[in-house]
Chains A and B, each alone.
Chain A
């Protein structure tokens, strides 16, 4: 069988993978981190240009068997890939100072980062279970190494190991689920699975067990409670840029996979996984927020807050059992996707500023207390951080966050899950408490730590995140209403 590969469709991940390899070689022969950094940046930008081309070019499909394709570029894919590329851009920008400052090996760092990014992009386009699992591993494997890259720090190694163990277990669980689904339906392509599940002679119990196991596997990746243990320690031990990648690109990859699998493949089983996801959502946001209340370091606070935010993202999917028909289900997924996209840009902003604060003592990003009085020394940076935090809390002037909040509430209530909506309402108050505690410290009169000038690349990263957040504040339309198959 001869396959015609549509190279434009796979161009963004391909460019990233090639750029990663090139940087590894470049660094081996010409070990100057500035060059490697510029090369990685160029790779992300070229991939971004390809993505823009794809966005205007209409849907692409490749690696097809008959009518079903393994790799599809539709609006859903384009949105996710764009979010991941923006995340990649910001991470590369903030990594420069950290790679130099904390003596990370530049060639390996950028190679691993671009490889993980390529995997994340592939995942968003994958439309069969094998592609999804392989892509997920392509995201995860480089990340273990990246997390442990601060080799002189024991906590970094511990973080890498923890993440590795959890991730391997989750992959094993997911593969077992995949095998059950394959056994029951006889196919690995997402749409045919859905069609098979609708047939009356289907062994429902087996398929449902498989779906739940796949859900558990993705639960680890998006760090939903109770599969979240690895996240706080990993964020804390990892380089800041890597933590940013974990919190945004890696999480986006997990959610892309979850959205695809749950709705395109397991849509007919919504009454099985729906209530489960609703329970996970309630548990995740509540536990995440409650623990975040007690955090004193920036990085652990962000870790727990990103767990809580994952809970909000799961909520509309949790309401899936309450709706009937594919269009309604697609609306719910669109709510999750919209929230994720908006969350990504605003969270990147926070990470960019935390990266500017850098390593203070033994803490990446320092203590929350270290940000006291930042407004006196760096007014614009402090205002930007306050704005991003307001967005995360979902309060104007952070309009983007407010719209994101409205979208997930709306999705959840469309499914008739009023109780989940009320839990979310209480959780937004918990969330506001700690975001506010951080933001109000910025305006305290007495600066605690003297931060130097903001490096040029970090400024660029903050600007990218701010521009993205402002864009989705004014025109959230661009990231809303996007679901797989659209």
Chain B
């Protein structure tokens, strides 16, 4: 069965190479088939996964690769990685479907599909790696294809600069991360993530743990992105083509928080205890900062990009409490944000395609009247994102705040209560900017600018790409156990039964 885990990585990799040999006109369909097949594998993995033992690594593969640096080809899934793997495979498949729209094929489709598949290799590989260096290798695999997607297929004139900023910024983060990972290795002489998590920091001195946590979490924080390391994100998301934004927001950001949950917190518990308050503080600053920035945005895509910073702030707050509830909230928030913001970026892409841009003032109002289905989807996605109870966005944020009410261990409760209050304020501001956006775009009357033009509503292919996301975030909102039931066992295992 463990061949399934290898297939998750091998299928897109093989596809990435094979697609270079197919004619340009079938390349996109080739991508649909490959990402679809990967999604099928991911679903099969989810089906054979034993949910009663979600804390143990399943379907694992462990082979030697480069013994002299201790790098092993060690893959596996558990309750923490499984939802993210499925989310990644889903978003990649939906992206490929979205690309297959009659009017939506990218220029040079063969190269684009190859890059999409390579990105998928890196993303899924990051989530299934159980070896610190292998994790790092997959973590890095994503950079170049994502750079190329933004620089080669981006929309605006600033795309080259945005892409360069993205890759340099995140490379700096991963360089620091590598130093941190090797500090862990130099203290423990093992790269096995399962063993390291079980060890829970024994054998690593207090000071070293603090330094290593600073390096690992600091390196990952660029990817998350945590305020004030977020400045690459708005430009990259805004300039990237739709599919690029969807994957950036939907999956890439999760690699950072996943790394924190998987590596930083369990392997360096003492370091985590010292630095968690700082992590939480920066998280809530990010929430407020992003909300204020969103209120000032005049561009739909940029607004969604900044909202990501805020949502990831909630995720960071959850992690910073160091409690099972908080970490479950973080993992749930990851999934919810992936589904909702993925859809929001798809919709922004749809809007850009129809209106030739996403400038809010230029769009004018009345989308609900002119394109009722697209407008409704935008409303649904926006209210899901602002955390309306009953939709997925609610649980991640609510649980994160709840966990801040009762932070773990010897963390300063007063401080965390402050975090909770500030985060609550941020949630209100989040609601405010989304509602302002909806009032500007969805409601009201159509701008006379568009009077003569016929604007098409959601097409069949778009429904195929978007509907699964709506279904899933409604389902996860009504029945949060769908995700929490999977993650909870693993989280408790990771935190030593906590």
- Give the interface of A toward B (CB within 8 A): 334, 338, 390, 395-397, 399, 402-403, 405-407, 409-410, 413-414, 416, 418, 421-422, 424-426, 428-429, 432-433, 436, 440, 443, 476-477, 480-481
Contacts and interface: CB of A to CB of B under 8 A. Distances in A.
Contact of B179 (A409, A476, A477): A409
A413 B186 contact: yes
23 contacts: A395-B143, A396-B122, A396-B144, A397-B141, A397-B144, A402-B137, A403-B69, A403-B71, A406-B69, A406-B71, A406-B136, A413-B182, A413-B183, A416-B186, A418-B183, A421-B179, A426-B172, A429-B171, A433-B168, A436-B147, A436-B164, A440-B151, A480-B69
Given A397-B144, A413-B183, 19 more contacts: A390-B144, A396-B140, A396-B144, A406-B71, A409-B178, A409-B182, A410-B69, A414-B186, A416-B186, A418-B179, A422-B179, A425-B172, A425-B179, A426-B175, A429-B168, A429-B175, A436-B164, A436-B168, A481-B68
Contacts of A397: 118, 141, 144
Contacts of B151: 440
A410 B152 contact: no
B83 to A, nearest CB: 25
Contact of B171 (A407, A409, A428, A476): A428
Contacts of A413: 179, 182-183, 185-186
A101 B329 CA distance: 68
A396 to B, nearest CB: 4
Nearest to B70: A410
B176 interface: yes
Contacts of B136: 406
B211 interface: yes
A429 B172 contact: yes
B182 A477 contact: no
A395 B147 CA distance: 12
A390 B67 CA distance: 24
B343 to A, nearest CB: 29
A330 to B, nearest CB: 12
Contact of A410 (B167, B185, B211): B185
Nearest to B179: A421
Nearest to A437: B164
A357 to B, nearest CB: 23
Contacts of B248: none
Nearest to B169: A429
B66 interface: yes
A348 B215 CA distance: 34
Interface string B141-165: 1011001000110000000100010
A403 B68 CA distance: 11
A390 B175 CA distance: 15
B133 interface: yes
A407 B183 contact: no
A interface, over-half SS: helix
Nearest to B133: A406
Contacts of B143: 395-396
> Could you say which interface size class chain B belongs to?
20 to 34
A281 to B, nearest CB: 15
Nearest to B182: A413
Contacts of A429: 168, 171-172, 175
Contact of A440 (B68, B160, B182): B160
A433 B140 CA distance: 16
A418 B179 CA distance: 7
B160 to A, nearest CB: 7
A346 to B, nearest CB: 15
Contact of B182 (A390, A421, A481): A421
Contact of B140 (A395, A426, A477): A395
Nearest 10 Cβ contacts at the A-B interface: A425-B175, A481-B68, A480-B68, A421-B179, A396-B141, A413-B182, A429-B172, A413-B186, A428-B175, A429-B171
A157 to B, nearest CB: 40
Contacts of A407: 69
Contacts of B160: 440
Contacts of B168: 429, 432-433, 436
Contacts of B133: 406
A413 B180 CA distance: 9
A332 to B, nearest CB: 12
A334 B66 CA distance: 14
Given A443-B152, A477-B67, A425 B137 contact: no
A421 B185 CA distance: 14
B137 A399 contact: yes
A338 B67 CA distance: 13
A276 B132 CA distance: 31
Nearest to B139: A396
A429 B168 CA distance: 6
Nearest to B152: A443
Nearest to A413: B182
A434 to B, nearest CB: 11
Contacts of B172: 425-426, 429
Contacts of B122: 396
Given A410-B69, A414-B186, A477-B68, A422 B144 contact: no
Contacts of B68: 334, 338, 477, 480-481
A407 B65 CA distance: 14
A48 B104 CA distance: 54
Contact of A424 (B67, B69, B137, B175): B175
Contacts of B141: 396-397
A418 to B, nearest CB: 7
A433 B160 CA distance: 12
Interface string B111-133: 00000001000100000000001
B76 to A, nearest CB: 21
A107 B71 CA distance: 48
Contacts of A334: 68
A390 B140 CA distance: 12
Nearest to A428: B175
Contacts of A443: 152
A478 to B, nearest CB: 10
Nearest to B211: A418
Nearest to A420: B179
Contacts of A422: 176, 179
A481 B67 CA distance: 9
A477 B71 CA distance: 10
B179 to A, nearest CB: 4
A481 B164 CA distance: 35
Contacts of B66: 403, 476-477, 480
Contacts of B147: 436
A10 to B, nearest CB: 29
Interface string B168-212: 100110011011001101100000000000000000000000010
A305 to B, nearest CB: 16
A435 to B, nearest CB: 11
Contacts of A414: 186
Contact of A395 (B144, B182, B211): B144
B482 to A, nearest CB: 34
A260 B270 CA distance: 42
Contacts of B71: 403, 406
A413 B182 CA distance: 7
A406 B177 CA distance: 11
Contacts of A403: 66, 69, 71
A429 B165 CA distance: 11
A146 B167 CA distance: 40
B179 A432 contact: no
B473 to A, nearest CB: 32
Nearest to B163: A440
A399 B141 CA distance: 9
B251 to A, nearest CB: 17
Contacts of B118: 397
A424 B171 CA distance: 12
A476 B69 CA distance: 10
B138 to A, nearest CB: 8
Find the residue from B136, B168, B179 having the highest chain A CB count within 10 A. B179
Find the residue from B68, B137, B141 having the highest chain A CB count within 10 A. B68
